[in-house]
Structure 1
């Protein structure tokens, strides 16, 4: 797919490739196909002069946009691999990740270097010396430089004869997902697994040439541009994003659930088909998107280890009445099964090859409990999120979808210490904008009653903390919030499921 994109960029150099937006929502061309092709060639030449080629690793901390895409194309052409770096992760975490990936060079834009001010040795072109580790590669700036930034990546490019593009499989990208500073964990995708994932996206979204697509992820950019569809990068301002959606007339839109909720709160209207993932998407959220004009609204189930794995449209999800969260049938080529403990295992051509430093494994352990219902995947909660109450294992994901009643924007079930080694189960429900809290509590009564032995000890109406780049609901922070509210007597809207004030023992 990346090779196809490289050819497509050169076939129609004047065609708009990446679209930006003004604060009024007006659409403008940020880069043409020719601009991207020329930029990728410059970066490839600059990296080649630095000795980057097959087997090399390039650390990249560049915001999504033309330069980030050009860097990916350049590294791919040379047969090297990209290690995706997050400068906001903090010095200890990032140093541990750099030590594991051992990049031969680090590319960072000015914003990343400003965020990572603790890493100012980068700006002096000094090699990064870490405790008990060999020296790592020097840093170069991608894009405009600010005072104190490292030298520009392509500052010294002369007439460089590039080698033929590498046309063989090998490592393509390293993405860090979790792990401590002592044991960071990194997903390694090969060129073939990335290609399979992007082909799956292309088959799912079916982008048409000439019609814009809205989205900022690599898996949106490449298939869309390779199909001849210009891509608009979504504004980070919800108000401007709503205007952007109104002006763009997109054939397809990919936004995370938090982005959708914020855009809807600004009165956004949608066109074409809308896709969302990276965090749970309820049937209620997908319904609101269709009510706001979308022809179709899809929830995508994906992992860093396998993107995308399954997808479900709003109508099918809304019609599902069983327990758990329906995320759809596995996409073509995706294999799904459950092990003896009920954990969902996934495999197929788009699955990651391995974790860095570990042996290849054809199966991805998702950490999700699930069941297969007529070939469709129904999630029942994360293994690590299990709450133990009265010697009973309760998996929140099995019941949380039922709590997304009208007026509820988010809902989590979390465990809080009961003081005797046991846990209490608390339902934390975030009201939507302008929701009537009394009406919301009344709407929750029926699903709470149906939860049987998993009925929560308390219901708390409060804003749910979010975390991470995708702004996923933060269970640990939510549990701390519930614990503090119950412990300090700041009950507010917290009540036991049977209506009594929290604090007494449940009979």
Structure 2
């Protein structure tokens, strides 16, 4: 589909590709198809001139948008793989992750470099943190440069001829998902698995040429543009997002459940077909979306390892009366099974090839307990320790070791239900004998600041419950303890 997109952009160079909304409510074109194609060609030539070859790794620290899409097209053409760098992961985690996949070059926009350098104090208040990017490898700037930024990607290499596109399969993307700083874990998708996932999205969403699609993920942008539909990136503020929906009248909209709730809280209206995922979306939320004007409201069950796997429309979800959460019918090509513990296992053409450093494995252990009901997935709870907060996965094992500063005996990160499927992230810290709470809070300030977007909503000092003959920390009991303490007004 990336090849199809490249051809589509060239066939219709004057067609609007990326749309924006002004404060007055009018629609403007921020990039045409020809603009995207030209940008992708320049990125391809520049990366090739800098030595990126088939099988190489390109670190990508770019905000979603035309430049990030052009970079992905360039990396695909060169037969390299993109390693996605998340500023919210924190510098310690990011260093450990990239030690597993050292990049040949890091591409970063001015915002990412500001987070990593001269604007670090400001970025810290936004819970973003990167190491100095130069620690990760050679750095080049994509987009406008600001003082202190690395040289532009195409600096000194303009006019370099384009290499022939690489054909065949191979690694395409590395997405870090879990593990610890000592044992990072990363999903590796191949060119064929990405293509299969995007084809499934195209079949499910059926974007039509000419009418806008609102969404910011790679799996939304590529199928839409390849079908001739212009795309719009969701505005950040709820008010601006509501105005955007009103003036664009998108045929399809993809937003996470928290963003849907923020639009509904502002009295925003929807139209066309609305899709949501990345966090639980109950029948009540989907029903509210349809009442706000959507023709259809869909919940999508997907993983980084397989996107998408199943989908359900509001009417079917509201009609479901069985136990558990109806995640939807398996999408074409996806196969499911359950393990001995009831864990949901998935496979299919869009499944990731492997985890970085591990052998290929066609079956994905989802960490979700589920049952299969006539080709539909019914979720019965998570088996993993993962905490889901504001549509972001937080893996406690990544961050708990950093909380064990002097004076801390035990520390756990747990999720406490916050309503409608979301969770609050709480650190329960057990002080050692005689530890001074004030000194302990001061000692924890640094590790908490480095946790980025995984920083907990509350820190509680209490004894961590233990269980079993080996007296291991009991996460379930700790979560209940945290919920009770928060209800009593504890924490910060």
> TM-score, with normalisation over the residues of structure 1?
0.77
Q: Which residue of 2 aligns with 1:87?
A: 87
Q: Which residue of 2 aligns with 1:225?
A: 225
Contact 1:25 1:241 survives alignment (8 Å): no
Q: Which residue of 1 aligns with 2:398?
A: none
Contact 2:2 2:195 survives alignment (8 Å): yes
Q: Which residue of 2 aligns with 1:444?
A: none
Question: Aligned runs of 1:77-476 on 2, under 5 Å?
Answer: 77-117=77-117, 122=133, 128=135, 137-384=137-384, 428=417, 430=419, 464-465=423-424
CA distance 1:262–1:315, change in 2 (3 Å): same
Q: In angstroms, what is the RMSD of aligned CA positions?
A: 3.0
Q: Which residue of 2 aligns with 1:411?
A: none
> Could you tell me how far 1:465 is from its partner in structure 2?
2.6
Q: Distance in 1 between matches of 2:354 and 2:418?
A: 37
> Could you tell me how far 1:486 is from its partner in structure 2?
2.8
Match of 2:488 among 487, 490, 499: 490
> Could you tell me how far 1:157 is from its partner in structure 2?
2.4
Contact 2:416 2:425 survives alignment (8 Å): no
Q: Which residue of 1 aligns with 2:3?
A: 3
Listed one character per residue, the Cα deviations across residues 167-224 of structure 1 (whole Å, up to 9, x for unaligned) are 1100000000011111111000000000000000000000000011000000000000
> Could you tell me how far 1:385 is from its partner in structure 2?
5.3
Listed one character per residue, the Cα deviations across residues 395-452 of structure 1 (whole Å, up to 9, x for unaligned) are x99xxxxxxxxxxxxxxxxxxxxxxxxxxx99845389xxxxxxxxxxxxxxxxxxxx
CA distance 1:76–1:145, change in 2 (3 Å): same
CA distance 1:491–1:81, change in 2 (3 Å): closer
Contact 2:190 2:352 survives alignment (8 Å): yes
Contact 1:24 1:240 survives alignment (8 Å): no
Q: Distance in 2 between matches of 1:345 and 1:378?
A: 13
- For the residue of structure 2 that corresponds to 1:201, the secondary structure is helix
Moved more, 483-492 or 344-353: 483-492
Q: Which residue of 1 aligns with 2:410?
A: none
Q: Which residue of 2 aligns with 1:37?
A: 37
- For the residue of structure 2 that corresponds to 1:384, the secondary structure is coil
Q: Distance in 2 between matches of 1:216 and 1:293?
A: 21
Listed one character per residue, the Cα deviations across residues 319-341 of structure 1 (whole Å, up to 9, x for unaligned) are 00001010111100001111111
Q: Distance in 2 between matches of 1:115 and 1:166?
A: 34
Q: Distance in 2 between matches of 1:15 and 1:488?
A: 53
- For the residue of structure 1 that corresponds to 2:309, the secondary structure is strand
- For the residue of structure 2 that corresponds to 1:465, the secondary structure is strand
Moved more, 32-41 or 94-103: 94-103
State the structure with bigger RCO (CA 8 A, min sep 6), 1 or 2.
2
Q: Which residue of 2 aligns with 1:131?
A: none
Q: Distance in 2 between matches of 1:489 and 1:216?
A: 36
Q: Which has the larger radius of gyration?
A: 1
Contact 1:279 1:470 survives alignment (8 Å): no
CA distance 1:241–1:470, change in 2 (3 Å): farther
Aligned pairs, how many? Answer: 415
Q: Distance in 2 between matches of 1:286 and 1:469?
A: 31
Q: Distance in 2 between matches of 1:75 and 1:379?
A: 37
Contact 1:252 1:273 survives alignment (8 Å): yes
Q: Which residue of 2 aligns with 1:409?
A: none
- For the residue of structure 2 that corresponds to 1:224, the secondary structure is helix
> Could you tell me how far 1:487 is from its partner in structure 2?
4.2
Q: Which residue of 2 aligns with 1:504?
A: none
Listed one character per residue, the Cα deviations across residues 142-177 of structure 1 (whole Å, up to 9, x for unaligned) are 101111111110122232222210111000000000
Q: Distance in 2 between matches of 1:329 and 1:8?
A: 31
Contact 1:2 1:73 survives alignment (8 Å): yes
Q: Distance in 2 between matches of 1:30 and 1:336?
A: 42
CA distance 1:281–1:24, change in 2 (3 Å): farther
Listed one character per residue, the Cα deviations across residues 272-312 of structure 1 (whole Å, up to 9, x for unaligned) are 00000011100000000000000000000000000000000
> Could you tell me how far 1:137 is from its partner in structure 2?
3.0
CA distance 1:474–1:278, change in 2 (3 Å): farther
